A and B are shown apart, each in its own frame.
Chain A
Amino acid sequence: MAAITLSGVVKSYGRVTAVHGIDLEIAHNEFVVLVGPSGCGKSTTLRMIAGLEEISGGEIRIGGRLVNDLPPRKRNISMVFQNYALYPHMTVRENLGFGLKIAGQPPAVVAERVAEAAAILGLAELLDRVPGELSGGQRQRVAMGRAIVRHPDAFLFDEPLSNLDAKLRGQMRAEIKKLHQKVETTVVYVTHDQVEAMTLADRIVVMRDGRIEQTGTPIEVFSHPVNTFVAGFIGSPPMNMLPARVSGGALRLADGTGIALPERLAGRAPEGAEVILGIRPDDLSPVGHGLIEAGQGAEVEMTVEIAEPLGMESLILSRLGGQEVQAKLYGPRFVAPGERLTFRIALDRAHLFDAATGRALEAG
Chain B
Amino acid sequence: MTALLRTHRTDPAPFLLLAPAVLVMLSVVALPLVFSLWTSLTPYRLTRPETIGAFIGLRNYIRLFSDGAFWAAFGRTLLFLVIALNVEFLLGLGIALLINRITWGQRTLRTVMMFPMMFSPILVGFQFKFLFNDHIGIVNNALQSLGLIDFAIPWLVDGRLAMFSIIFAEVWMSTSVFAILLLAGLFAMPRDPIEAAKVDGCNPWQVFRHITLPFLMPFVYIAMTIRSLDVARAYDIVKVMTDGGPAGRTELLWTLIARTGYENARMGQANAMAYVSTVLSVLFTWYFARKLIAARRTMGGAE
Contact = CB atoms under 8 A, between A and B. Distances in A.
A6 B196 CA distance: 22
Contacts of A88: 193, 215, 298-303
Given A71-B198, A81-B192, A87-B197, A130 B210 contact: no
Contact of A81 (B196, B201, B203): B196
Interface in A94-144: 98-99, 102-103, 130-134
A83 B198 contact: no
A99 B303 CA distance: 21
A347 interface: no
B293 to A, nearest CB: 14
B214 interface: yes
Contact of B301 (A78, A86, A99): A86
A102 B206 contact: yes
Interface in B146-200: 190, 192-193, 195-200
B300 A79 contact: no
Interface in B264-303: 298-303
Interface string A61-87: 000000000011100011101011111
Interface residues of B, number: 23
A84 B196 CA distance: 9
Contacts of B190: 83, 85
Most buried by A among B200, B203, B210: B200
A222 B197 CA distance: 38
A-side interface size class = 20 to 34
B131 interface: no
A73 B205 CA distance: 12
Contact of A79 (B196, B298, B299, B301): B196
A302 to B, nearest CB: 49
A42 interface: no
B202 interface: yes
Nearest to B217: A89
A128 to B, nearest CB: 13
Contacts of B197: 87, 98
Contacts of A150: 200-201
Contacts of B206: 102
B211 interface: yes
Interface string B210-250: 11001100000000000000000000000000000000000
A280 interface: no
A73 B195 contact: no
A121 to B, nearest CB: 17
A78 B200 contact: yes
Contacts of B199: 50-52, 72-73, 77-79, 156
B198 A72 contact: yes
Contact of B195 (A85, A86, A98, A131): A85
Most buried by B among A52, A85, A131: A85
Interface of A: 50-52, 71-73, 77-79, 81, 83-89, 98-99, 102-103, 130-134, 146, 150, 156
A-B pairs, top 8 by smallest CB distance, nearest first, are: A132-B301, A85-B192, A131-B301, A132-B300, A99-B200, A88-B301, A85-B196, A88-B302
Given A102-B210, A130-B298, A133-B301, 11 more contacts: A52-B199, A73-B201, A73-B203, A84-B303, A88-B215, A88-B301, A98-B197, A132-B299, A132-B301, A132-B302, A134-B301
6 contacts: A73-B199, A73-B201, A79-B195, A87-B193, A98-B210, A133-B300
